[in-house]
Structures are given as C-alpha cells and as structure tokens.
C-alpha cells in the first residue's frame, strides 16, 4: 500500500535526460527523466509494471490534487524531505543545481539557500552572469553574491565564495536542468584548469547524477547544443508511456 504524496513540482513539467540503464545506482534506479512528473503512487504503478514486481499494489489517492498544482498551492506545510531541502524554492532548483554536486563548485550546501546559490572562491561570477544573460534562460534572474558556506563535508567550508544567486521569476517557464548544464558549460570555458568534475575510484559522480555517460564529455568539449538535445531526447515517448500510470488529471 502506498499513501500517495503530491509531486511538489507539479505533475506537468518533465525534464530529462532519461537515465541510461547502465548508470543505475542508489541515485537513480530506473530509466526515467531527472524531473519525472509523477506522484509517489503513480511512480509505484510504473515500477510495479515495468519491473514486473507483481505486487498486490494499492495506492491511496490524494484528495483535491491536480497535475498543475505546486506544493505551496496544496495548503500543506513544507515537509523538508531532507536536511538540505529547506524550501519549495530549493526543491524547484534541485533537479538542475543538484548536478553541481558532481563538480568542484559549491551548490549552496552549508548555507541557508541550498541549491539556490552556486559559487567558488575562484569563480568569476560577474562574467558568468554576463555570458548566461545571452542564453535566454527563462523564468530566472541571476544575481552576483558572495557567501561563506559552513559545515562538515561542505565544499569550501569557511571560505568566501563568489557566486550566483538564483531568483525564481516564473517557475512555470523555468527549466533548472537546462540552466545548470548551460552554466557548467560556461564555467568550464571561462575557468579552464580550475573547474573540474569530481572523480572517485575511476568514476564520476556527475555521470550518475545526470544519468548519461556522454554529457560530461560534451560539456568539456563545449558542445552545449548536443547536450540540450540529449536533455529533450525521448521525453515525448516517456510522456506517452506513463499516461497509463497516472491517477490524476489536469
């Protein structure tokens, strides 16, 4: 039995890439997009069918929830599903800015705005914002900021980081995955030799976060157009496939 929960980011907006089965891990266990647009109960329906679990599954549905509803429109208190997920705004940015966890750029952990700021002591934040402003990143304002993250295991703990704060202007138009990938591409270009992806035991955490093994190389090579194509690849097929698992209408 699954007591369903709302998808805090609505059930309408979906962003890839879709996970490569070869990169399944604790981070991503199924071939779905980063932002998959389903409730917990709908996701359970998908797993039960596609993994052939044959569970006697019952989903206790939500009252009054529709697919276009954001969490702050439900009237429910924010549940803080993890220590760093302090607000709906952090959750909105997380599908994209969480990818910075696989890099040597701080992703806002150790601050009161996790996933709403990024930065590093060496980052030219003004140039980053200037170059990003030409890309038409919808729904978002980028502001220069200096902050000092603090905490065990936090990147640059106790150091002043020059960074960027993300101010959400239109959450309907915002696509945080594309924002993050565009920013990584720019940072790599303006800071060759300083920016890097984190490697541990011969593998890259970023690959598991983004769900594709080729995106990192494309970003390092500056092929942002191909990266954006991969983000959109297969999304229409995914949406057609998951309709049969959906419980709620628009």
How high is the pLDDT of residue 201?
Answer: 85
Ordered per-residue pLDDT tens for the chain, 250 residues: 999 999 999 999 999 999 999 999 999 999 999 999 999 999 999 999 999 999 999 999 999 999 999 999 999 999 999 999 999 999 999 999 999 999 999 999 999 999 999 999 999 999 999 999 999 899 999 999 999 999 999 999 999 999 999 999 999 999 999 999 999 999 999 999 999 999 988 899 999 999 999 999 999 998 899 999 999 999 999 999 999 999 998 8
Nearest to 177 by CA among 10, 35, 31: 35
* Bridge pairing between strands 161-168 and 117-120: antiparallel
Residue 199: enclosing H or E segment and its boundaries?
strand 199-200
Identify the pLDDT of residue 222.
87
* Helix, strand, or coil (residue 15): strand
pLDDT, position 200: 87
Do residues 180 and 96 lie in contact, with contact meaning Cβ atoms separated by under 8 Å? yes
Tokens matching residue 175: 């696509």
Residue 155 sits at the vertex; the CA angle it makes with 150 and 160, to the nearest 5 degrees, is: 60
Q: Are 248 and 11 in contact (CB under 8 A)?
A: yes
Measure the CA–CA gap between 154 and 20, rounded to whole angstroms. Answer: 29
Q: Which domains does the chain have, with CATH numbers?
A: 2-245 (3.90.1150.140)
Cα gap 31→105, rounded to integer Å: 27
Before 42, cis peptide (omega within 30)? no
Asked whether the beta carbons of 178 and 75 are under 8 A apart, the reply is no
| Residue 147 pLDDT | 99
pTM for the model: 0.96
């Amino acid at each position: 039995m699954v007591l369903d929960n709302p998808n805090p980011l609505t059930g309408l907006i979906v962003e890839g890439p879709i996970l490569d089965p070869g990169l399944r891990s604790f981070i991503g266990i199924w071939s779905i997009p980063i932002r998959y647009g389903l409730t917990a109960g709908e996701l359970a329906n998908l797993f039960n069918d596609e993994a052939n679990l044959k569970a006697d599954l019952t989903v206790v549905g939500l009252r009054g929830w529709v697919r276009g509803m954001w969490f702050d429109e439900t009237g429910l208190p924010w549940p803080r599903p993890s220590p760093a997920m302090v607000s709906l705004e952090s959750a909105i940015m997380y599908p994209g800015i969480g990818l910075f966890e696989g890099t040597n750029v701080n992703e806002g952990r150790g601050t009161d705005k996790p996933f709403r700021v990024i930065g590093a002591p060496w980052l030219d934040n003004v140039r980053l914002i200037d170059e990003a402003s030409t890309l038409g990143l919808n729904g978002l304002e980028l502001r220069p900021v200096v902050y000092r993250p603090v905490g065990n295991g936090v990147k640059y703990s106790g150091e002043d980081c020059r960074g960027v704060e993300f101010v959400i202007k239109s959450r309907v138009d915002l696509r945080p995955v594309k924002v993050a990938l565009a920013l990584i591409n720019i940072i790599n270009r303006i800071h060759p030799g300083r920016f890097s992806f984190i490697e541990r035991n011969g593998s890259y955490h970023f690959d598991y976060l983004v769900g594709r093994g080729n995106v990192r190389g494309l970003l390092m090579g500056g092929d942002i157009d191909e990266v954006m194509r991969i983000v959109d690849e297969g999304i229409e097929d995914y949406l057609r496939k998951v309709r049969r698992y959906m419980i709620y209408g628009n």
